[in-house]
Structure formats: structure tokens, C-alpha cells
Amino acid sequence: MANMTDYLAWRGDIPISETAPWNCIDALLMSSLSYLNFHGVDNPTGWTLEEAARIDLLQESPFTTFPPRKEAFLAMSKSIRFKDCRIHHFIALTDPEKEMQFSAMCIDQPDGTLCVAFRGTDNTLVGWREDFNMAYRPVVPGQEAAKLYLERVAGMTDRTLRLTGHSKGGNLAVYSAACAAPEIQDRIESVWNFDGPGMHHDVFGSEGYARIVDRIHTYIPQTSIIGLLMDHCEKYTVVRSVATGISQHDPMSWQVYGPKFEEVEKIDRTASVVRDTLHDWLENSTPEQRGAFVDTMFRLAESTKATSMSELLNEKLRSVMAMVGYRKEIDPETRRIFNRLMAQAVSLGFGNVMERVRGRIGQENSEPEKKAESNPAEDKKDLPEGNDPA
């Protein structure tokens, strides 16, 4: 078993060149960097990875995802392939009033290209609220910020551009590329989306998306949940993960072999059933109903005084879920779909967190519908037009 940190041990001594060109693992490592906070990289000059590590610019974080990301960063800072990468123009914005969480950074590559790395959802409730807002809003503030960030970065350099991101960061990479002006799109070499949710159908139908789609590279794990939310029109590759359930969203669990991921033929039953349930909800609800559902969910979450998902994913979430089942603000159809989704999530091993919160679910609600396993070639058939929460 090997992940992207092992890749650095295999390939770190080989510079980016014609014999060892930029690849999907390189792009994933760049997206991983976007989750880290550094001192002094919010300026045009920035620092190389070697400099950032040597003078200890990395800011510590209490979250469990931090240690493996730090390990990867330190390995990159010592490698011939990445130590001279320069990080700069870092930005992080969280605005509860606008319901926006956005963060991105620029990474100059030794081969003369510029990588724009968009961060995925952080630990704040604001960030998760923005993701859920995608269920009923064609565009959210984070997407608008990503488009503006790309425009400004492109105006400061004539380098060839690569865009990358994991989770919501992948969504932002695709959105900003699809909405960029043609002269910026001409400079985009590739767009890398790692288990990021799809787009509103208006984006897929745009001329901008049509111009960039053949340069979009999308990867999802075999039990993808986040990456199958909303519609994908571009092709995607299914990656083997050693984690289970929604934990496969963590790219540190994705398996690599040399300069590539280990691929599997299709997504598994867990992913296909949860996806179909969410899409069924979209087909049978209006944007107004979805908006009311999201508003109610987050008003209940905020009533616990939690400000982060870490706080919420404790005993506080149990009371929120109990309230969801009975509050009159949620219409019966939305409540039915919500209960059905939670029941299927538990029965299919969607995650221990949900099982701990929901406890034992009645047999009448916990039996999942029989769904055929899907494969990458057929997953885009019969998908509804619209959005799921990210």
C-alpha cells in the first residue's frame, strides 16, 4: 500500500521534465498544500517550500488531517522535484454574512508554469453552509471569489496555468476555469478535480465549459460521496482507497503506483445508492424546498452554539438530528427523503459518525433499495438537472 507521501520517496529526486512530466499525483500534492496555513505567503514574492520549511513558516493546526499534510509538505520541501516551488498570494476569507468560505494560493513550478490551488471546505460551519447552499443556488460566493482570484492571478503573469483542488476546491477549480475569459482559458494547460462535487447544469451548458472540458481531469475514490454530488459531464477516473465509507474522501488514503493512481473499474454500491438517493431528492423537490431544508438544518446547528464541524460532531449533533425528525418547519416530503438518506447511509456503512448519532434505525426505514452498481461510463445517464449539497 502506498499513498502520495510514498510517491515523494519514489519520485522526489526526479525533477519535473520531459522524462518525468507533471502528473496527477503532483496535482494532488499541490491541492494538499492549499489546506495548510503559512506565515508570510500573502505577498507577491512568497517563499520556496525549502525556505518555508527551513525557517518554520508553517502554522500548526489541531485537526487530525494536519499531521499527514505536514509530513507531505516537509517531504516536498526536501525533494528535488518540489523544493524550489514558490508559494505566494495566499488568501483565506470567511464571511458568515455572505455565507462564504474561500481560500487559495499560487505555487510557481520549476518548469515555468503557475499552479493555482483552491482549498476545499474547512472546519467552519460557514464553509459547510456554503457547500449545502449549492443545493439550491446556481452560484455561491466562493465560486465567484475563485473566478475573480483566477482573473487577477492571470493578469499578473504570463505563465502557463494549472488549476487544482480537492473537495470543494476541485469544484472551484472547474468553475473558475469554465467561467474564465477565452484569453485566460487559452493559457490553462489542465484542471485537476479531486473528489470535488459537480456543477449546476447552467455551467455545463456554457460555451466556457465546452472550451475547457477536455482539459479537466477528475478523480474520485470507489466509495465517493462528495465527488458524486451534483452533475459531472466530464469523464472521471475511479481510484482505489484503503479507507472505508466517507473516509475515502481523504486523499491520503488513495493508492498510487509510480506516477499514477491505482484505478478500479467502477464506483461501489454504497456510492451509487447514496448518489441515487440524493438525485431522487432533487427530482422531487423545488429549489425553494431545498433552501428551506438547508436553512432549517443550519438554524438548528447554530442553536447549539457550535461554530465548527468538530464541535457539532459530538453530542450536540444528536439533539439536532432528533429535532430534524419532528420540527414542523420541514415539510413531510423533505423529512421523508432526509430519513431515507440517513437510513441508507447507516445500513451501507456511510460512516460511524452518522451511526453514532442516529443510533438504531427502525427496520422499516433502514432497508436500502436495491440499486445496480454503476460504472464510470454510465454514471452520467439519467442524472437530474440541478445540485446536491457539497
Does the domain spanning 4-268 belong to CATH 3.40.1130?
A: no
Tens digits of residue pLDDT in 258-289: 999 999 999 988 888 877 777 777 677 777 77
Contact 291, 331 (CB under 8 A): no
Alpha-carbon distance 127 to 140, whole Å?
11
Alpha-carbon distance 265 to 237, whole Å?
9
Tell me the torsion sign for CA atoms 198, 199, 201, 206.
negative
Based on its alpha-carbon atoms, the radius of gyration of the chain, rounded to whole angstroms, reads 20
At residue 125, the pLDDT reads 73
Tens digits of residue pLDDT in 21-51: 999 999 999 999 999 999 988 888 899 999 9
- What are the distances in angstroms from CA 177 to CA 118, 158, 210, 272, 341? 12, 16, 11, 28, 33
| Predicted model pTM | 0.80
Tens digits of residue pLDDT in 330-360: 566 666 666 665 555 445 444 433 433 344 3
Mean pLDDT lowest for which of 129-138, 190-199, 247-256, 339-348?
339-348
- Any idea where the domains of the chain sit in the sequence? 4-268, 272-366
- Of the pLDDT bands very low, low, confident and very high (cuts 50, 70, 90), residue 139 is confident
CA angle 375, 221, 146 (to 5 degrees): 110
